[in-house]
Structures are given as C-alpha cells and as structure tokens.
Structure 1
Amino acid sequence: MRQVFGCAELTNYCRKAKNMSDVLNDLYIVPDYDQASVRVTFTAPAGCTKARWQVLDGRKVVAEGSLATQADKEAGFQAAMPNFKPWNVDSPHLYQVRLVLTVAGEECVVTENFGMRKIHVVGDQIYVNNEKFYVRGYIRGREAHDHPNMENLPPEEWYEKNILAAKKYGFNFIRFHSRIPEKECFQAADRLGIFIHAEIRRYYGKYQKERTIMDAGEFIREEDWREAILATRNHPSLMVYCLGNEITHPGSDPRVLNLANVTKELDPTRLFLDTCAHGEFDRTYVDIDVQHMSYFYPFGRNYDMYENTYNWFCFGSCTNLPLVVQDKEDNPTYKLTRSIPSNRRPVLAHEVCHYAALRNLDALDAKFKKAGVAKPWWIDEVRKLVKLKGLDKDYTKMMKASEHFQFLSWK
C-alpha cells in the first residue's frame, strides 16, 4: 500500500488529485529475482528537486542512496538485494521502498511494499520463482460468487478471513470475475500469500449485460486499462491481467491486441489474458489460456474431458483455419479433427468442479439470523421445492449423499 506523509506542497497536490494514489501514480518497483536486485522508477512531481531512498526489510535497511530529480521527468535507481527472502504463496515476505522527496523545500515520505518474486511461462507451464506452479484457484467478484460482509468487518480483515480459509483448503489463486478487487484485498493477499487474477472490464450490474455491450461495440478504454495497471502492478500477489469474462472473438479484434501491447509496455512481468474462456485457439499474444472444461463428469464417455480439445472448436480460429475438415470426398461421414498442441501455452480449466451439493437450509437460516441480515431469496424457494417434490423426509439423507458426491468430485 502506498502511503504519503508530510510535505504541504505535495499534500496540496494530493488534494487536487482524485486520491492519494495519484501521487507518483507511475511508481514502478520491478524485482529482478535472477539478478538479486530491484529497480524503482517514478516521475518526479512538480517542485521536486531531489530524493533519498531506502529499501527496508522491516526496520533493517537493505540498501539506500540519493538522486537528483527534475520535475515531470523519470527518475530511478537500482538496489542490490543480496540473500533476499523470496515472496511466494507459502512464505510471502514483504520489503518496502521508502522515498523521501524534497518538494519546494519540504520533505515528503512515500512508501510502497513489494515482494521479490518472478512469474514466467515456458511451454505449457507457469513458473513462480523458477519453479513450476500449479494453479489451484477459486472465484470471487460477482454476486453469484460472494456473500456480503455480514459481520461488518473492516475490508482488509474481511478479505483476510476469506483468504485464510481458502489457503486451508489448498487454494493459491483467486479469479476476480469482471472486476478489480479493492486495494484492501491486494494488501491482504500480499501479506498472506495468494495470487490474484483481475478482470478489468467494468461491471454493469446484470450478469450478461457486459457481454452484450461489448458485442455492440463499446470497449474498454485504453486510459482505463492503463490506470488499472498503474494502480495494481506493484502488488506481488497480482499474477494475471485479464480483459474480462467470455469475450467473443478477441483474436480478430485489433483493439485487444493493442491492449495486450499496452500491458507488456507497462508491466511485462505479469501474465496477460484477453478473455476468460471463448478465445480462439491460435491467438499468439496471450501468455496463458482459459477454457471451459467441466460441464460433465470425467467418467464414461466424458472420461477425457480434461485432455480433449472440443472446447476450442466452439470458438474457432482467428486466422480462419478450419478445425474440423472433410477428409474424404467419397465418405461424407469421415471428418478429420485438427489436433491442438498442448505445449502452446498453459491452459487453465474455467468453471471447473461445478458438482454442487444440497444445502443445509436450517443452518443457513441460523447463520443469517445470527448476523442480523436478510437471507437470500432462494433459501425459502428451495424449501418450497423440497416440499413440492415430497422430499421432506429424505432431504437430510439426500443432503449427506450429495455432499459425499461433491467431495469425491473435488478429489
């Protein structure tokens, strides 16, 4: 979290700006894991003539120095990080950059946390700190995936509670559906060690409405995309920049390629993804891919649902390459299905493990009553459905059986 202290001149500047994050809004901290160093750059604000800097590990000074600055010009420094402690999901060690800017003769302190970590892709594998990383993610962000902050916890504590519970189940990644999480979420994720996938396309209030608006021609503005990257890129927990959910035909839209290039210009250290599912198989500008893989059960005729390529056939090719072709003119039933190489890029399963269990309706009633908040409308509707189907006597057994089925599915 960036913090600014002192300096009336810069504080006045902050008041004119939208928020405090607009101070040094292009502050960029780039850890170099392989070279054991960190590079810091920023644009000096008006009236800034010089700066002192420190890299801190708690109260310990790792490195320090000073530099002359010129207003509205880029300034920067590089610091060695000998024997650094890496940031990862198991040991999320945080360092801090501390800048003391002299602005109009007054000193102003700006601080920002960062972590020494590296994210990259080789073939079909994601690597974190040069080790293979297997994504085990869950979804948040939309009304279908979250419940309100029923205990009225402070925002960071509310996110912390969720992240700690998720980590106990082995999750290491959160996909935020159609939104960028609040800064308190990033702060909690930075401290506790979990990666975040942020989707920057704005949420319009109705589940499918944003897709319709996208298809009608309205698109993410480049300035909004730039602003989102500048606001989040120093968080070690951020892994994926994604445009949004289920965008149709991104590979044939030049605006998508432009935003991919903007992303690599502003932050080449993260992974870029255009759409969470629905992308064409032969896009070349994405670092990873996401495809639907789990609307069946991986047994019987669907035993190979995690290995087959049917999900790509739905969305085709952005270079007009046929994925299923007729191979023999004399046999109209004979078709050749194109094989998609598995080593093109890492692929994540989208909407996986939808194997739902029946809910304990009495326990849900008690939970919402204890919290003193209105319960969701569907709880009473499920009660009506159970009664309508004559399942009152068997519901408890059915619920336990469904929970066991769900458990087997998770395995």
Structure 2
Amino acid sequence: MTYYFKQAAAAAFLMISSLMTSAREHIDLAGDWNFILLNAPSEIPAEGKLSLPGTLDTNRVGIPVEESDNTSQLSRRFSYTGSAIFSKTVTIPEEWRGKHIELLLERTRPASVAVDGKRISYSSLISAPQRHDLSDALSPGTHTIEITVNNGDSIPLPIRNNSHACTESTQTNWNGIIGEIRLSAMPRLHIKSAIPFPQTDSTRNGMRRLDVTLSQNPPAGYIITAMTGDDEADRIKLSPDTDTFSLWLPPTDREQMWSEWNPTSENVSISLQSPDGMMEDSISVSSAPRDFHTVGRQFIVNGHPAFLRGRHDACVFPMTAHVPMDYESWRRYFSIIKDYGLNHVRFHSWCPPEECFRAADEAGVYLQPELPIWGSFDHDNTELMDFLAKELDAIVSEYSHHPSFMMFSLGNELWGEIELMKGFLDRAKEINPYLLTTYGSNIYLGWKGHIDGEDFLVTCRVGGGDGFSTHTRASFSFADADNGGILNSTYPNSEMNFSNAISLSPVPVIGHETGQYQIFPDFREMFKYTGVLRPDNFKEFARRVTDAGNARKAQRFFHASGELATRLYRADMEMNLRTPGMGGFQLLDLQDYPGQGTALVGILDAFMDSKGLVTPEKWREACDQVTILAELPKFCFTSGESVEIPVKVANFSASDLDGMNIGWTTPFASGNLSTSSGEGVVDAGNISLTIPDVKVPVKSSLQLSSSKASNSYDIWIYPTEEPRTEDVVVTTDLDFALKALDKGGRVILCPDTATVRETSLGPLFTTDYWNYRMFRTICDNVKKEPSPGTLGLLIDDSHEAFRLFPTDFHSDWQWFATVANSHPLIIDRLPKDIDPIVEVIDNVERNYRLALMLECSVGKGKLMIISADMKKAAEHPEGRWLLNSVKTYMASKRCKPSLLLSPQQVTDLLTKPSVKRIIKEIRNESYDNKPNGI
C-alpha cells in the first residue's frame, strides 16, 4: 500500500450510507442552523440563520453577483469562497451514554467539527459521506455542535477549478451541507462497514463475497450472521486477532440476476452476536447479484453481450447548483435516460450520492463514477494525491454494494505518471476486487491507446494513426482531427464504422464524449432559471443576436440547427452500434452543458426537459436494446441504379432473435428479411433495390420494422435526364457576371475562393463542435485553422428555386455535396431585414449573418449568388440538381428578387470584409496540460 492510501485508510470512515437498523438510534439535525461567514467582506451580513440541508446559495447567503456579459457559464446569484461555521444546539439522551456517537454529513466540502468550542474531528471528503466520531465529546445533556466548512483552499486547486464536483461551469463550488445530517448512536463494538459485493465469484461457484469490518477487534466467541431475505446465508465465529472478516452469500440463478433487463434487488442483513447469543448490532444493506465481466473486447452481463449506450453527466442541476440528494429526483433522471434508450451513465470527474445509486439499481442502469480530477497525476503534488487517495477509498468502500456501480475511472482526460495511476487502480481493486477499472476517461486524449492494467478503454481514439482510422467517434474539434472528423469529411452513408480502431485494443472500447453537436439557443429557456443560477450567458447571447438583426429568426435557427444535430447524433450512434465488438459510447450529450463557454449540445435542455426536437420513440430507433441498421452506401441516387443494402441488427436484448422477421418498404418496393441467430451485431440479409425512374427529383424513404424495433432512412432520387436552360449564365467570375447583368442577363454567380477570401468562412456540414469559443482558443494556441463555427442551414424551403430540389427548412444529407464545397458569404453590410434563400446559421459567440444562396436584381439583370464550388458539388446528382433547380427558376417568370443592389454593392459584398468579431479566450484543462510531443 502506498503512502497515500495508508493515510487515506487511517482517515476515511468506510461505513455504508444506506445502513438502517432499529438497534441504532438517530437524531435528525435537519432544520434551522446558525451561520458565521469567516471570510465575508464588510458589505454583506456575516452571520445569521439558515436552513440545512442546503447551501449558502439556496439560502441566498453570500456576496450578491451582479449581472454580466460573461458567456462562459451560468451565473450564481450569490457567491462565497472560504470558511463558514454552521452551529446548532443538540440534546443527547441519557440512553446514549457510553455508546459510539457518529455525526453523518452526507455530502459537503472539507469540514472540521467542534463540540462546545473544542475541535474534535476533520474530514476532507467531497465525494462521499463524512462520518465524524464524537463519542468522547457528546455526553448526555445539551451541547453545541459547530461545523466549519471550507470550500476554498482546503480543496486542491486542480479539483476546485476543473472537477465537476466543484467547477463553476456546472455544480458550482458551493458551501454548505446537503443530504442527510444526523447523529447516530450504536454500541462501541459495532459493524463499521459491510460490503456485499454484487459480482459473483467464478472461483466460488457463483457465490458472492461479503466483507465486514468491525469498529475494533472483537472478543473471543462473537458471531456474525448474514441473511438474504429470510434465509441465513452464512455464519462465522470471529477471530479476536482482526477486525475484518469475509462471509459468502449463496449463488443465484443467472437469469434472476440484476441487469438492465432484470433490475431486481436483494436485502442483505448482517448481525453481530455476543457469545451469549445477544444481538450487539445489526445492519441492512440493499444489493443484488450480477455477473459483469469482459471477454476480449466485449462486456458480458449475466452471460449476455452488453453494449453501453451511455451519456456523460457533468452535474448540471441549475435550480440548486448542486447534485440532488433525494430518490425522486434520481428516479426521474433515470426514467428519462431509459426513455431515450440509454443504459449507462459516466459521471465526469465526480461521484453521485447514495440515492442516485439506489435509483440506478432499480432502473437497471450501469454507472461509472470517477475521482474528482481533470488534470494530472504527479508524485510531487502530494496534497492532491493525498486528497484523491482518501476520495478513492471512500467512493469504492461506500458504494460497492450497489449492482449499478460496475465501473470506475480515475478521472477525465488525465495526464501524468502511469505507475502512480496504477497504484490507485490497485487500491480500488484491493477494496473491491470485482470492480472494472480504467486509468481515466480519454487518458492522454487517446494518443497512447490501450495501456496495460486497465479493464476497459474510454477514448476518442485508440492511439495515433492515418486519417480517421483510429477514431472511436465521428466528430472532433478542428484542433484534434482534420476537418472535424469522419462525419464532416465523408460523403454521407450508413456503412462506415469503427472496426479498425477497436481492433487496436485488447479490451472493450467505449467511445468518449460522442457527439458534441452544437444547437442554437432556445431563448425561451431563460425563463426557467428561477433557482440559484441566473442565465446571464443566455441574456448576452440574446443581446448579440438582436444586435445582429437575427432575433426575429432565433427560433427558426434553433429548430433548424436542432434538426441537423439530431440527425448527426443518430448517425454517430449507429456507427457505434454497427461496429462488431464495440463496447459502447458515452454521449456528450443528451443534456445541455451550460458552462465551459456554454455548450448547448443536448436534445434535452439543462433541466433535462425535451427541446421538442425529437421524441424518445424516434431517438430509440437508433439507440435501443434492439436496433435495426441498414447499411446504405449513400442517400442520394439516380434513376435506374441498382443497390445492395445489407441489413444488420444490433441485438443487446439478452435474447436470441433467430428468425425475427423484418419488413422493409419503400414507395416503390417492399419485402421481408429474417435475422440470423446470435447476440451482438447479427445479419439479416440484403435488400436488393433498383431505383425507379422519376421525372422530377423526389424525397423517399426506406422503412424497416419488426416486432422488436423499427428504423427509417431518408433517400433522395434524381432523374437521369436534366433540363436545359441555355439563357442562364453560370460563372465563377465576378467581372464576367457584372457584364452579363449590365446587359440584362440572368446570372448564377458561384464566386471562386480567391474572390471571397476576405468576406467568407470555410465549409462546415455538421454543426460546430462543443462551442466556438472554447476550440477557437485551442486552435489559436496550437496554431491550427479553427472550425468555421457554423450550425447548419436555415432554408426558405417554399422558395421557387427548390421546385426541382426537394428540401426541408434545415440541412439534410442531400445538402452535403454543396455545403462541403461552400464558402458562406458574410452579408453584414446588407440591411438587417434582408434574408438569404439559404442562410448559414452562425454561432452565438460571433453572430455573422451568412448566406449560401442570395438573390437580387442588379440593374436590368437578375443575380443568384451561390457561395459554393458548384462544379465540385455537381460531381454528385444532388449537386447537379440543385444547380438545375436554380437555373430553371432563374429562367422563369417566377424569378422576381426583391433586393436591389448596384454593381458596386455586389462587388463590395463579395470583396470588402465586414468588421471582425473579437472572441474572448476560454481555457481547457486537457490542452493546457498537454505534454510536448503528444
């Protein structure tokens, strides 16, 4: 055992927080407390009364925070950093005399406890309950308990600044005490810790180990008995030479074990009896048997392959700015998780409380808590290492009885000393030898790939490699991958997967923070912030949008960007599911992250309410226990093409779907397929299609359905015969276009890159990754070209220019060929009431007004600007037909642009830059700590 863990073992109380027994007595300390703020400035009240459990924020105590234009995160209404003393008078009953008396603080910051002015105990724990031994200080009678909570320098800076246990981006670094606050009395010799490990032991014929620790070595002749339900499971006579003992619980039929498919529960009772048969102490712990392990690259749950369809949780609870401690909040949370087909949650650099684990047990959701660190492991930083060692001991000891606690990570995107990290994992295994562990989520940003000693790998890539060959998610920042990764760089299809990447790891691979597709704000959300956090960031974004002239279009921007983001998430999730042997993914995110530059990447808002973009039923088509997957080589076809479409089923339902019928239909053909046997990714045969002859382009679909699942894919079909419109000029040359317009011509101008170099942005099909401000800062620092930062298209889909080009009001796969070759034109110099036919939505940090297609009259002529290389786009039928549709419109009498520009105005629009927007920096721990050469 290392120095860190010797210190942790000496300091941490390892008792299960859910222990309940009538043999023990409790005094609930919830209610009114006195407070003193030791570091309060003179302008605010330094003392008074408040209610606990709660925080200073929830009690509206602290320094009032003025509204600001800060867009990095939500704003606290009150803030306080430093020491606060919470005091209360209690009366200890006579019958507690001579007993062990313990003060439980379920969740707080580092705290010291004094009784009647004398300091008795200290604990630094922030990720698990603190238990303070007050036995010698609380004699029967009246006493004053003082709890000094310090949310300042008592927490190491890397944790205070970055961990989601403390960061101002989400949970905030609150001061207070939340959850249970109580005094408990029990015998001096009592059960200090009892962990019935859920995992079955293959070396003991499926039995389960129960570790019991007493408060001291027992006298000779004492007995511990364990019962499951009403049945005695094991009984042992205790040795006086130790205070730690192991019992064994009987095996359970595998099909009756706990899982996502069967979230059962079991009550384990442990009693301590004296030699004369009298019960000295007893406790009851909720648990359940399960068998969770890995075979090669696959997770196995109770003999069945499991795929972790997960989300990342950053502790976003904007009403309280702290984690909920009650069961009902977590029951709602996991109900939503399950509604969207998920079965797994990773807690980014924090650990949830007891009621979360209990609700996950009952919902059948697999959890991955983490140490509260996003930074670096370094032997020289002994303060941080000591702190984390105590956290590890407490987390693993406290929650290992829960079947939902299946995996453990040392933190998020770590750097540092592998051997030191290995010592931490060894310690976790020493406490719970059955826990699956990993060094960290996306350790070294994936560049090192699998590292010996980890049971599974959570990563965005499996080492370095050519192109996207090692990637395990489809989207990246421009700082991390060329052109933002696979989905923004590859002609749309539903064939590609991550097989090459996962082949490089001998253990299961889980895609790290999959997605991160940004959505334009829904400013109506601002009115929901009635709690301790205030949406100053939303207000500032709304002001900028208004100043840019886009307030009237904000809701359309929100819906259009959201529709695209939803499609991107579906594509990303399906890539994971159709990868044979993939371990799973962890979305970032189902829910918005309103910090770190404000990353509105969720299909749910910060309150976990639907944004109205997609129903849970539609989402589950691409994310469920059984998911039907059609592997289309593309989504845009030409009449007469023949195509073979393999159909697979990602079957993680704990049952064999052998012979399941899948019906498939299109408007022009239909048929049936049958699945092969097995679990995991199974074949269902091929669909052979001949694309029908159409006279005009049409949007169609492929529908697949079975008794277990359904899915659908939009496709677009274009005729082989194209219309002729010889009286419309198509050019890339501005001067040539102006000469033709002067003669009254009808012109489509697709300006070349050189012409609009100073007045346009680069192409981006996907919505911007995470948020523009964060990764613009990173790209500038690492000397890489940043993302264009846009959020898809807002299209006037009723415009006559699209009569021969089926489109909705938002980007979809048929726009990829054009958008990938575009250079959106900045039109800020035009009047604010001018709307392009196709508008590119900019991010809310910058708020350019951007056009992909803009029409106007110039003298006697009529001009359509398409700010894209349409020659390259026309290499695909959808690009040709967009141009055909526009040409047909331009040649018709329907072409009546309302905007009138002079030749000079057109020239200025294309060649004279507008004022550039200044984007403030925002830092990121993973890149600030990045070693040279990685």
Please, what TM-score do these two structures have when normalized by structure 2?
Answer: 0.36
Contact residue 331 and residue 359 of structure 2 kept, 8 A: yes
In structure 2, the CA distance between the partners of 1:262 and 1:151, relative to structure 1 (3 Å rule), is: closer
Secondary structure of residue in 2 paired with 1:342: coil
Which residue of 2 is the match for residue 18 of structure 1? 132
CA deviation vs aligned residue, 1:210-230 (integer Å, no higher than 9, x gap): 526859734433444223211
Query: In structure 1, how many angstroms separate the alpha carbons of the residues matched to 2:528 and 2:390?
Result: 43
In structure 2, the CA distance between the partners of 1:392 and 1:31, relative to structure 1 (3 Å rule), is: closer
Give the letter for the 1:40 counterpart: L
In structure 2, the CA distance between the partners of 1:38 and 1:299, relative to structure 1 (3 Å rule), is: closer
1:238 aligns with 2:405: yes
1:406 aligns with 2:546: no
How far residue 103 of structure 1 moved from its aligned partner, in angstroms, is: 5.5
Which residue of 2 is the match for residue 114 of structure 1? 287
Deviates more, 1:89-98 or 1:149-158: 149-158
Please, what TM-score do these two structures have when normalized by structure 1?
Answer: 0.77
* Aligned counterpart in structure 1 of residue 366 of structure 2, from 195, 202, 208: 195
Which residue of 1 is the match for residue 432 of structure 2? 267
Which residue of 2 is the match for residue 344 of structure 1? 506
What are the residue-to-residue correspondences of 1:39-58 with 2, within 5 Å?
Answer: 39-46=209-216, 47=218, 49-56=222-229
Query: In structure 1, how many angstroms separate the alpha carbons of the residues matched to 2:97 and 2:336?
Result: 41
Query: In structure 1, how many angstroms separate the alpha carbons of the residues matched to 2:429 and 2:325?
Result: 34
CA deviation vs aligned residue, 1:94-126 (integer Å, no higher than 9, x gap): 111101212695532211111111111122111
- Identical amino acids, percent of aligned pairs: 18
How far residue 384 of structure 1 moved from its aligned partner, in angstroms, is: 1.1
Q: Which structure's CA Rg is the greater one?
A: 2
Which residue of 1 is the match for residue 207 of structure 2? 37
Deviates more, 1:164-173 or 1:219-228: 219-228
Query: In structure 2, how many angstroms separate the alpha carbons of the residues matched to 1:184 and 1:88?
Result: 18
Query: In structure 2, how many angstroms separate the alpha carbons of the residues matched to 1:10 and 1:284?
Result: 53
CA deviation vs aligned residue, 1:262-286 (integer Å, no higher than 9, x gap): 2222223221111111342251101
How far residue 237 of structure 1 moved from its aligned partner, in angstroms, is: 0.5
Give the letter for the 2:540 counterpart: E
* Aligned counterpart in structure 2 of residue 357 of structure 1, from 519, 522, 534: 519
Secondary structure of residue in 2 paired with 1:244: coil
Contact residue 234 and residue 248 of structure 2 kept, 8 A: no
Which residue of 2 is the match for residue 379 of structure 1? 538
Unaligned ranges ≥5, structure 1: 203-209, 310-339
Contact residue 102 and residue 108 of structure 1 kept, 8 A: yes
In structure 2, the CA distance between the partners of 1:39 and 1:305, relative to structure 1 (3 Å rule), is: closer
How far residue 307 of structure 1 moved from its aligned partner, in angstroms, is: 5.3
Contact residue 249 and residue 278 of structure 1 kept, 8 A: no
* Aligned counterpart in structure 1 of residue 237 of structure 2, from 68, 78, 83: 68
Which residue of 2 is the match for residue 285 of structure 1? 453
Query: In structure 1, how many angstroms separate the alpha carbons of the residues matched to 2:560 and 2:392?
Result: 46
Secondary structure of residue in 2 paired with 1:256: helix
CA deviation vs aligned residue, 1:47-77 (integer Å, no higher than 9, x gap): 4622333111xxxx24445332235343333
CA deviation vs aligned residue, 1:201-249 (integer Å, no higher than 9, x gap): 35xxxxxxx5268597344334442232111211110121111111114
RMSD over aligned CA atoms reads 3.3
Secondary structure of residue in 2 paired with 1:344: coil
Which residue of 2 is the match for residue 138 of structure 1? 311
Secondary structure of residue in 1 paired with 2:349: coil
Contact residue 265 and residue 288 of structure 2 kept, 8 A: yes
How far residue 350 of structure 1 moved from its aligned partner, in angstroms, is: 1.3
Which residue of 2 is the match for residue 334 of structure 1? none
Query: In structure 1, how many angstroms separate the alpha carbons of the residues matched to 2:19 and 2:295?
Result: 33
Contact residue 274 and residue 286 of structure 1 kept, 8 A: yes
Unaligned ranges ≥5, structure 2: 1-17, 25-94, 104-130, 134-183, 461-472, 477-483, 571-934
Query: In structure 1, how many angstroms separate the alpha carbons of the residues matched to 2:343 and 2:485?
Result: 24
How far residue 79 of structure 1 moved from its aligned partner, in angstroms, is: 3.3
Query: In structure 1, how many angstroms separate the alpha carbons of the residues matched to 2:313 and 2:301?
Result: 23
Give the letter for the 1:12 counterpart: K
1:397 aligns with 2:556: yes
Secondary structure of residue in 2 paired with 1:286: coil
Which residue of 2 is the match for residue 217 of structure 1? 381
Query: In structure 1, how many angstroms separate the alpha carbons of the residues matched to 2:538 and 2:210?
Result: 52
Secondary structure of residue in 1 paired with 2:271: strand
In structure 2, the CA distance between the partners of 1:10 and 1:410, relative to structure 1 (3 Å rule), is: farther
Contact residue 33 and residue 129 of structure 1 kept, 8 A: no
Query: In structure 1, how many angstroms separate the alpha carbons of the residues matched to 2:545 and 2:257?
Result: 52
How far residue 24 of structure 1 moved from its aligned partner, in angstroms, is: 2.8
Query: In structure 1, how many angstroms separate the alpha carbons of the residues matched to 2:528 and 2:227?
Result: 48
In structure 2, the CA distance between the partners of 1:224 and 1:403, relative to structure 1 (3 Å rule), is: closer
How far residue 11 of structure 1 moved from its aligned partner, in angstroms, is: 9.4
